[in-house]
Amino acid sequence: MSFISLLAPSRAAEPYTEHPGREGDGDYTIGPNYKIDPDLTDRGNPKGKSFEFTMRLADSKVFPGADSTLEPEKKPVRAERKIFVYVPAAYKDGTKAPILIIHDGPGQLNLVRNALDNLTISKDPSRQLPAFIAIAVQNGGNDGKNSERGLEYDTMSDRLARFIHDEVLPAVLTNVEIKAAYPKIAFTENPWGRAVIGCSSGGAAALTMGWFRPDWFRRVIAYSGTFVDQQDDDAAEEAKYPLGAWEYHSGMKLIENSDKKPLRVFTHVSENDIRPKDPEETHHNWVMAGKRTAAALQAKGYSHRFVFSLGTGHCDRRVFEQTLADTLVWIWRGYHAE
């Protein structure tokens, strides 16, 4: 008998699975009175490290700031965008960290920082966060159709996911200042370890990143999501998605008519969000769009949590201050290191 035959047979790595359960799923109405969650305040716990650097748009292969849909004379394009990174104190250098991408950086980064400081060391197993690294990415400039921000966030394609995956993440991992502090910094390749958060068009972009590239990003947080027809009218994607993100819930009913994707999704809309009284044919009623997107996700059987906030407006600060800790705990529920 050979020595090799005495060895135990090799076993392929078992596939990653998680069991988040149904706690926190469903529809929630909050308000009209609000207060900040203590876990989103500075409670004196150990702090991580913050970093900031820039990326020139002209150096990008995905968003160089020269798209044919842009009108830079009317809606200026940034020459460079800022990237903000927060590495929590609980992160151990050399481990493959989960990540949270924050659109419109720095956005809600201050609240996220406090949540990480407080909840990565929580003793309550039902209210803990993994030591994810937060990466807040500034948009390319301006807003709405024919703007760089609109191109990045409102386009129904995988372009933004490719930009984050192929350009932003490598830039973070090779940044000199970050590498000096964390020589062995690494990100998990597990798509369940990659979350995205945004508000308004940034919220629609969060869902779009997961929708088109669930092989890269699977946890989605969308506040006041712009699930309306905001895509550039002259975008190539108009041929397939003529009403932009409105198509998620109406028209072609993209969510309903597509195979269920491996996503965990939080959505929100405010009672007084943008154009709440617009008729359906305008394709620009944020409240209608938010409710219908939530209904479509729920009907399809997604792991989904929906918050409707009374007495609030678009991307209302009070909603973030009351709900973001709960949202982060819910979105990461079930995650574990491999």
Q: Over 90: is that where the pLDDT of 2 sits?
A: no
**pLDDT band for position 36 (50/70/90)?**
very high
Residues 6+ apart with CB under 8 A from 93: 182, 183, 184, 185
What mean pLDDT comes out for the span 155-175?
Answer: 98
**pLDDT band for position 13 (50/70/90)?**
low
- Predicted pLDDT of residue 275: 98
In order of 33, 77, 84, 183, 217, the CA distances from 169 in angstroms are 39, 22, 12, 16, 13
* pLDDT tens digits along 103-133: 999 999 999 999 999 999 999 999 999 999 9
Judge residue 327's burial from the number of C-beta atoms within 10 Å of its C-beta, 0-12 exposed, 13-18 middle, 19 or more buried: buried
CA–CA dist 159, 137 (Å, integer) = 15
Helix segments in 48-142, DSSP class H:
109-119
Q: Over 80: is that where the pLDDT of 11 sits?
A: no
| Entry pTM | 0.95
The helix, strand and coil proportions of the chain, stated in percent and rounded to the nearest 5, come to 35, 20, 50
Q: Over 70: is that where the pLDDT of 5 sits?
A: no
**pLDDT band for position 253 (50/70/90)?**
very high
* pLDDT tens digits along 221-234: 999 999 999 999 99
Q: Which amino acid is at 33?
A: N
SS3 at position 276: coil
What mean pLDDT comes out for the span 90-103?
Answer: 98
Q: 235 with 155: CB under 8 angstroms?
A: yes
Q: Over 60: is that where the pLDDT of 268 sits?
A: yes
- Predicted pLDDT of residue 9: 43
Q: Over 60: is that where the pLDDT of 209 sits?
A: yes
Judge residue 264's burial from the number of C-beta atoms within 10 Å of its C-beta, 0-12 exposed, 13-18 middle, 19 or more buried: buried
| Extended beta strands in the chain, E state | 26-30, 49-56, 80-87, 96-97, 99-103, 133-137, 186-187, 194-199, 219-223, 264-270, 303-309
Q: 148 with 115: CB under 8 angstroms?
A: no
DSSP state of 174: T
Q: 102 with 198: CB under 8 angstroms?
A: yes
* pLDDT tens digits along 42-58: 999 999 999 999 999 99
Phi, psi torsion values for 31, nearest 5 degrees = 90, -175
What mean pLDDT comes out for the span 305-312?
Answer: 98
